[in-house]
Amino acid sequence: MVAKIIDGKEVAAKVREDCRQRVEALGAFGTRPGLAVIIVGDNPASKVYVANKAKACSEVGLNSKVHAFPAETEEAEVLRLIDTLNHDPSIHGILVQLPLPPNYNVRRILETISRDKDVDGFHLYNVGALAVGSSIFPPCTPYGVSKILEHEHIEVAGQNVVVVGASNIVGKPMALMLMQKDATVCICHAKTRDLAQFTILADILVVAAGRPNLILPQMVKTGAAVIDVGINRLPNGDLVGDVDFDGVSQKASHITPVPGGVGPMTVTMLIENTVQAAERFVGIKG
Ligand code: NAP
């Protein structure tokens, strides 16, 4: 079996086009969705992510504003800005780029963001609400994976899903979202003994561990859909996922490449969440 290679850029383009039309429709209410992005310090990767988010937002007509602070900024100053943004009617989404400086209380920062503007879905309210299937904003990366499965008409209900990786931003919310869609879900992590005994059972295998070549063909069931969230930079500069793409694509039914698979969906779902926040603000979405 040779897998269908899922084109994440194509799926992302469709979602973005839908968002662009919804942004236009919001114009009739005198509203343009606004996203505020806060970055503290000069982590080079964070700077690139923030620039990419701002660019993608403006391409679909959102108003995005980046608030950049030097690393030595007092946490209280960032908290004050979040409070101001919470009350700013032109801002519908607030995102704090992680990581923050080590002396910051990350939970306090995230909990200060209004849950109605928490477009990254990291506020404890949204984290908890995901467990009961009523989150306001699903976190962007697992939401993107969900959209990919939907776009590819990959049935989730009743399927065996194995999620490799149990982080708060990818693995755990991914598992909750798919469980909500009636999958039978198993979560694996670094202390899982004999990973292959679990992955081989997966009809849908989602991998988010940050370990190149973690998933080899013999660990994958023939015909499984394999979603590779991992992003790893090899010493030679190549960007790869967590899955042995060449080997596993000879066995899976579907596979996402890295780059060009899940990656483009993450920023796209941030746009989607921000548009939805603006729609709720004007009262056209519940
Ligand atoms: P993370 O916070 O480092 O979490 C990694 C998870 O993988 C942890 O739960 C860890 O287990 C588990 N793990 C590590 N080694 C493992 C192994 N050998 N076997 C099984 N599980 C293992 O990372 P993250 O933020 O979730 O990100 C995961 C990967 O996705 C990274 O490569 C990251 O760059 C990528 N990512 C991509 C996107 C995108 O847009 N495509 C977005 C976010 C992240 P323990 O809990 O036991 O430590």
Active-site annotation holds for 4? no
Distance 23 CA to ligand 1 centre (A): 33
Q: Is residue 285, in this structure, part of any structural domain at all?
A: no
Are 102 and 188 within one domain?
no
Q: Do the domain assignments include residue 170?
A: yes
CATH number at residue 242: 3.40.50.720
* Phi, psi values for residue 4, rounded to 5°: -75, 130
Reported as a single tens digit per residue, the pLDDT across 94-105 is 999 999 999 999
Handedness of CA 229, 233, 237, 243 (dihedral sign): negative
Number of domains in the chain: 2
Average pLDDT over residues 64-82: 97
Q: Are residues 152 and 252 in the same domain?
A: yes
CB atoms closer than 10 angstroms to residue 180: 18
156 and 105 inside one domain:
no
Catalytic site residue from 14, 21, 47, 53: 53
Domain region containing 227: 139-263
* pLDDT one-digit tens code per residue, 200-250: 999 999 999 999 999 999 999 999 999 999 999 999 999 999 999 999 999
9 belongs to a structural domain = no
pLDDT, position 122: 95
Q: Is the CB of 277 under 6 A from ligand 1?
A: no
* 2 within domain boundaries: no
Q: Is 21 one of the annotated active-site residues of the chain?
A: no
Could you tell me if the CB of 187 is within 6 A of ligand 1? Answer: no
- Model confidence, pTM: 0.97
